[in-house]
Amino acid sequence: MKQLFALFAALAALAAIPVVSLADATHVVRKGDTLGKIARAHHVSASKIQAANGIEGTHLSVGTKLVIPGGKAHSKRRKVRSGKGKRVTVRESALPDDPPPGAQLSLVDPQGSALSAEAWKLPTEAELAELAGSVKETDTAPPGVAASVAPEAGKADASIKDRLLRVAQRMLAVPYRFGGTTLWGLDCSGFVQKTFAFLNLDLPRSAREQFREGAKVAKADLSPGDLVFFRTYAKYPSHVGIYLGDNRFVHASSRERKVTVESLDTPYYVKRYIGAKRLLFEQNQIEN
């Protein structure tokens, strides 16, 4: 009987121990939080938090659930006043975690609600290839090399730029995913790389590398299909999109959590714009 009583006592003691789960290890942004404040509290750099969550800039929305890279539990201190007016240090639990391999973080928005039904109507590889009127060549063209397409190699009524833009705009609402390269989730450079791949043009993976390709273009001379680059969370080119015309560009936005269209006149992008590159040239441009 004593052994049974001891067993129940042990089970009760175990039940009283708090359970720590990976879900509890994330940080939910509260009013007054800043990227620097969160980074200091978790003993990680702000740039690592930006990279882990695909954040551009330092703006944080209240209620956003952030992944804090680091993997080890730690605690932070905060000072409160006791009833006698003295400052007392209180330790708060703060358990950072890394997302599990293959986690589809992009399938919910920063506020935690489900994406709209539109976001689930993802295009297929076959559909995008048909829109591209895939160039029928055995070899992929190297990056930065002018691409010209004979009528028999694609659709005679559409230029290579038209087909590129058709593919890019069909990918609207594809979810954003940092490091993503599939139609289940793409980041900015992954979106550009995949769009150009449908025209058999092989681009580097990162925005920084893509900025080294093609011919430099002045902002006043932008043409549909040009790549536009921005300096967001780093000193080097860290964001890229495809120019559509009328001062609009399409890109995979970490702020909107999907592929979307925005204006170059938006103050955020005006401030961070650093240049453009042209990789596509029509036949008449090559001859001239």
Q: Which residues are catalytic?
A: 188, 239, 251
DSSP state of 112: S
Q: How far is CA 109 from CA 13, 69, 158, 204, in A?
A: 39, 19, 36, 28
CB under 8 Å to 136, separation ≥6 — which residues?
A: 153, 154
| Residue 13 φ/ψ, nearest 5 degrees | -65, -40
Residue whose C-alpha is closest to residue 134's, from 82, 195, 200:
200
For residue 198, what are the CA distances in angstroms to 166, 191, 253? 11, 11, 21
DSSP structure class, residue 198: T
Number of H-type helices and E-type strands within the chain: 9, 12
- Which helix (H) or strand (E) element contains residue 185? strand 185-186
Beta bridge partners of 65: 28
CB hemisphere CA count around 60 (13 angstroms):
23
Instruction: Give the bridge partners for 240, in sequence order.
Output: 229
Concatenate the DSSP letters of all residues of 68-100 into one string: -TT-S-EEEEEEEE-TTS-EEEEEEEE----PP
